Amino acid sequence: MDPELSWRRIAFLVTVTTGSVYALLVVSLYMSQRALLFPRPEPVALPEAPRLLRTELTVDAAPVPMWWNVIPEAPLVLFFHGNATQLASTLTQANGALIVGLSFAAVEYPGYGLAPAKEPSEAGCFAAGRAAIAAIADLGLGVPVCMGHSLGSGVAAAMAAEGRCRALVLTAPYTSVGDVGAREYPWVPVRLLVKDPFDTLGRASQIAVPALVIHGRNDEIIPFAMGEALAAAIPGARLLPRETGHNELLDGETWAAVAAFARGLPSGDGSGDQIR
């Protein structure tokens, strides 16, 4: 056999094998991306919390729980949680808001906790956000300050871009899921394959309410640079750097900053604001 022909055959086989393995890996990532983006904890019932009222909203014909606490004359913060927690976990944030004198509400995402769904999705998270804001209006509580942490920052930003929020607070935010995925898997065309883009940077120019971005310089999950980029892209946004990591950011100092920001908003409860 011609040695040159033999090497060509070997090179061809190596190329085909490598390409097949790469294609399988890409397909595997594509099929499992929602499991990676939404690592849902085991569902648990909402804990006893006498100060928190609770109700069930309807999103896509399925029940979605929401709870809230109202302090008279205090701004109301609607909190959207991260991807590795659930509504029950927001009791800690409810207490943080209470300590600094803020009213508080939070809603579950379909597919998380006690909100049944085949799987979580960007569309489901956004639908839950809209339903919660409508419920808050029906309760006569005005238009909320939308606050999102980590994954929830994408939900809060989308609600603000739609004109549904009095103001916006983003803690440990990302520019988009595609950008985060591209950092983790630089060898995959993530931005072309992502099902749930949560493209906050792409929505930034549509946000026309006061905005505060809080990000830890030592964030080991979402780089501080992404918070910087969003603060620069959202018109008039303020950036508050913290010397913390990702999971330590929602502490008393952050809640105090949120309270100061919310109390510094133009007077009124936002009940006269219009949703675009």
Summarize pLDDT for 215-261 with one digit per residue, the tens.
999 999 999 999 999 999 999 999 999 999 999 999 999 999 999 99
pLDDT band of residue 190 (cuts 50, 70, 90) is confident
Summarize pLDDT for 99-114 with one digit per residue, the tens.
999 999 999 999 999 9
Closest CA to 115 of 59, 156, 198: 59
The answer, yes or no, to whether residue 274 has pLDDT greater than 50, is no
The answer, yes or no, to whether residue 43 has pLDDT greater than 50, is yes
- The fold of 41-263 is Rossmann fold (3.40.50)
What's the pTM value of the predicted model, to 2 decimals?
Answer: 0.91
Q: Would you list the domain boundaries of the chain?
A: 1-37, 41-263
Closest CA to 164 of 195, 128, 196: 128
pLDDT band of residue 266 (cuts 50, 70, 90) is confident
Q: What does the pLDDT read at residue 267?
A: 72
**The dihedral of CA 191, 203, 171, 225: what is its sign?**
positive
Closest CA to 129 of 163, 91, 100: 163
Are the C-beta atoms of residues 174 and 180 closer than 8 Å to each other?
yes
